[in-house]
Amino acid sequence: MERFQVINHMAARMGYKTYLEIGVELGLTIKNVNIQNRDGVDPHKLCEEVNYQMTSDEFFERYPEKRYDCIFIDGHHNSEFVCRDVNNALKSINENGVVFMHDCFPNQPHLAVKMIARTTPEWCGDGFKVVRSIVSNYSDSIMSCVVNTDYGVGMLLKLKKDVPKIEYNDLYRWEDMIRNPEEQINLISIEKFYRKFPSKDD
C-alpha cells in the first residue's frame, strides 16, 4: 500500500477538498492524491506541482491564514524540522482534517539517523521521536497512529480545536521504539486501518 492510497482513502471517506504537501520533490505523492485543490511546498521546484517554492517555515509564516482538510508532511526528516512542521500543520488543519506524516516507522537502524545532507537513496530520519511524544503525552488532544506501510504513514487527528504545542525528547532511541512499536508509536496494520476508518460505503 502506497502513502497516497492511505491519503486517498481518508479523503474519500471524509470528502476532503483541500490538500497541502510539504516536501514535494518529484511529485510522486501529490500527483496521485485525489483531492481537488492541491498546494505543494518545496524550496526546489522539480515539478509543476510545487506552487510555493520556499521552505515550509517560510510558507507557514507568510500564509498563516491558509487552512486545509489534509496536510502531508514529507519534508526534512530530522526530528526538529518534523516537529515544527507538525505544530504548524496542526494550526492550519480544518476541523475533522488529518495531518499525515511519512517515514514514521524506520524498520532498520541505519534509516533512523539525523543527516546534515541526504547521502543515501533510502532515509527515514528520526521523526518517529515526535510521533512517540504525541502518543505518550498528547493523546487527550490528538488521536495518532502509524499505518504499517511504506516506512510508516503517520496520522494525526485533532480531538480539540486548540491543541498544545508539541515538544519531544530528542534523546529517545530507535532501539526503544523498535522493541514494541505497537505501543510506542501506535503502529497499526493496514487491515486495522481499514477497520478503524471504513470507507463511507461500508
What pLDDT, on the 0 to 100 scale, is given for residue 118?
Answer: 64
Rounded Cα distance, 156 and 53, in Å: 25
What pLDDT, on the 0 to 100 scale, is given for residue 200?
Answer: 78
CB atoms within 10 A of CB 132: 23
Q: What would the grid cell of residue 144 be?
A: 495518532
**pLDDT grade for 45, boundaries at 50, 70 and 90:** very high
User: What confidence tens digit (pLDDT) does each residue in 171-181 have?
Assistant: 999 999 999 99
Question: Shortest CA distance to 48 belongs to which of 13, 29, 24?
Answer: 24
What pLDDT, on the 0 to 100 scale, is given for residue 122?
Answer: 85
CATH architecture of the domain 3-196 equals: 3-Layer(aba) Sandwich (3.40)
Position 120: which residue type? T
Decide if pLDDT at 202 tops 70.
no
What pLDDT, on the 0 to 100 scale, is given for residue 34?
Answer: 98
Going edge to edge, which strands form the sheet with 18-22? Answer: 37-41, 18-22, 68-73, 93-101, 153-158, 142-147, 187-188
| pLDDT average, residue stretch 63-80 | 97
What pLDDT, on the 0 to 100 scale, is given for residue 7?
Answer: 98
User: What confidence tens digit (pLDDT) does each residue in 115-153 have?
Assistant: 876 666 789 999 999 999 999 999 999 999 999 999 999
Mean pLDDT of the chain: 96
DSSP, residue by residue, 87-101? HHHHHHEEEEEEEEE
Question: Shortest CA distance to 184 belongs to which of 111, 123, 143, 134?
Answer: 134
Integer angstrom CA distances of residue 196 from 19, 84, 92, 128, 183: 22, 28, 25, 22, 17
Domain coordinates of the chain in residue numbers? 3-196
| pLDDT average, residue stretch 3-32 | 97
What pLDDT, on the 0 to 100 scale, is given for residue 201?
Answer: 75
